[in-house]
Copies of this chain bind each other. A is one copy, B any other.
Amino acid sequence: MIIDTLIEKIIERQNPTCVGLDTAYDYLPDDMKQLYGQSGAALAVLLFNKKVIDAVCDVVPAVKVQIAYYEALGVDGLKCFSETCAYAREKGLVVIADCKRNDIGSTAEQYARAFLSKETSCEGKCASCAEGCGQPPRFSCDLLTVNGYLGTDGILPFTALCRENDKGVFVLVKTSNPSSGELQNLRLADGRTVYECMGDMAEKWGEGTLGKYGYSRVGAVVGATYSEEAKNLRARLPHTFFLIPGYGAQGGNAEMLKNCFAAGGMGGIVNNSRGILCAYKKRGGTYFEAARAAALDMQKDLKSVLGEICAK
């Protein structure tokens, strides 16, 4: 079960860090930009990602690939997204596609097919056929972020495919950005906030899919930047695994993060994008060595507040 796999990798590596491959072309070192140019941006980003993946794949359990940065490069960018996801999986990393998809049921089914199908591509490479089964190449990841504004029937097509193909989703509950409270912190007439209500829905959507560590296939996005809300949600949603953005560039620190975790440092994984991809700008050295060093520093920082990570 994918959440169990993720948890076991976190325990094995003692590192609940997810490297965010939100790779803007601007993040690349000048010499790469000069070599590839704007017209070779997607290729340059792919090379950059692969070297970062090589450098961190034995110290972190997962990567999160933010599709917006690839869509901004058009069709070539999507090819780069697809190949980045495939490469990370080859290297044994759990791949979270951060796409925040959402739509009515029939359309959500198409998104689910796009991101939660079993194979990346057939063309002779898929698990079920040797010569190519005629299925067009798709994007393939382990976990997908989704937005629950449309309610249950917009989520069910995702959770159905998750069960079928051993995948999972993270529902946006309390996001890390400054204005997330405008809607999410509003109080409902029944006494809950909107984010609590969304959290309750996520917990409910996960029912019946618990893995051996007690977490379901339906996780939640809970920003590191809102410590009080995180504490509240951690207690409220005992079976919901958290994807935690907002560490580093967005202002979240380890002390604030403690609230996102259950006993034994369980129940969450913390994303860091710019802090790892752009580490070379502060530290010097190559971008991939700097990325590895930053991932190791983050491990130290998280462990200083979480202690030994272990299933209890």
- A interface residue numbers (CB < 8 A to B): 22, 24, 37-39, 41-42, 66, 68-69, 71-79, 82, 100-105, 107-108, 110-111, 113-115, 121, 132, 134-139, 147-154, 172, 175-184, 186-190, 194, 197-198, 201, 245, 250
Contacts and interface: CB of A to CB of B under 8 A. Distances in A.
A138 B182 contact: no
A152 B182 contact: yes
Given A71-B115, A75-B137, 11 more contacts: A22-B107, A24-B110, A68-B110, A68-B111, A74-B139, A100-B102, A104-B176, A152-B179, A183-B197, A187-B188, A189-B189
Nearest to A81: B75
A22, A107, A181, A201 interface centre (most CB from chain B within 10 Å): A107
A150 B180 contact: yes
How many copies of this kind of chain does the complex include? Answer: 2
Interface centre among A111, A134, A136, A178 (most CB of B within 10 A): A136
A105 to B, nearest CB: 6
Q: Which 10 pairs, one residue from A and one from B, show the smallest C-beta to C-beta distance?
A: A151-B179, A151-B182, A71-B114, A68-B110, A104-B177, A187-B189, A74-B137, A153-B179, A72-B110, A74-B138
